[in-house]
Amino acid sequence: MLDVVYFPVSAVLWCWHQLFAIPLGPASGLAWLLAVVALVVTVRALLVRTALRQARSQQVLRSLQPQMDAIRRTHRDDPRVQAEKIRLLHREHGVSMFAGFVPLIAQGLVFLGLFHVLRSFDRTGTYAVGPFSSTDSPLPVELNEATANYLFGAPEVRAFLDARLFGAPLSATLSGAGEVFVAVAVLAVPLVLIAALATHFTARLTPAVGDNSTAAIMRNLSLWVFPAGALIGGAVLPVVVLTYFATNALWTCGQQYLIRRTLAAEESAKKALVTAAARAAAPRPGVKPQRRKR
pLDDT mean over 278-293: 67
Note the pLDDT tens digit of each residue in 138-175: 888 899 889 999 999 999 999 999 999 999 999 898 88
CA 250 – CA 256 distance, rounded (Å): 10
pLDDT exceeds 60 at position 294: no
Identity at 160, one-letter amino acid code? F
Q: How confident is the model at residue 67 (pLDDT cuts 50, 70, 90)?
A: confident
Instruction: Supply the pLDDT for residue 60.
Output: 82
Rounded distance between C-alpha atoms, residue 160 and residue 52, angstroms: 36
- Max mean pLDDT among 66-70, 76-80, 195-199, 281-285 falls in 195-199
* Residue of higher predicted confidence among 40 and 95: 40
How far is the C-alpha of 170 from the C-alpha of 237, rounded, in Å? 10
The DSSP symbol for 164 reads E
Looking at the predicted structure, is the pLDDT value of residue 179 above 80? Answer: yes
Looking at the DSSP bridge assignments, the partners of residue 164 are 28, 169
- Enumerate helices (H) and strands (E) in the chain, giving the number of each: 12, 2
The most confident of 83-92, 131-140, 238-247, by mean pLDDT: 238-247
Question: Residues 228-282: pLDDT tens digits?
Answer: 888 888 888 999 999 999 999 999 999 999 999 999 898 888 888 888 877 777 7
**For a pLDDT cut of 90, what percent of the chain falls above it?**
43
Classify residue 96 as exposed, middle or buried by CB count within 10 Å of its CB (0-12, 13-18, 19+): middle
Average pLDDT rounded to a whole number, residues 40-49: 94
Higher pLDDT, residue 131 or 83:
83
Q: Residue 210: is its pLDDT beyond 70? A: no
How far is 29 from 240, CA to CA, in rounded Å? Answer: 9
pLDDT over threshold 60, residue 131 = no
Distance CA 43, CA 106 (A): 9
- Report the first-to-last Cα separation within the chain, whole angstroms: 75
Per-residue pLDDT at 289: 60
The continuous run of DSSP H or E covering 291 comes out as: none
> According to the model, what pLDDT value does residue 46 have?
93
Among the listed residues 127, 120, 192, 131, the one whose alpha carbon sits nearest the alpha carbon of residue 160: 120
Q: What pTM was estimated for this model as a whole?
A: 0.84
Q: Which residue has the higher pLDDT, 175 or 187?
A: 187
Q: What is the pLDDT of residue 134?
A: 47
- State the Cα–Cα distance between residues 159 and 149, nearest whole angstrom: 12
Range among 29-38, 162-171, 178-187, 206-215 rated most confident: 29-38
Residue 273 has a pLDDT of 82
What does the pLDDT average to over 55-59?
A: 83
What value, to the nearest 5°, has the Cα angle with vertex 191 and ends 186 and 197? Answer: 130
Estimate to the nearest angstrom the gap between the alpha carbon of 226 and the chain centroid: 13
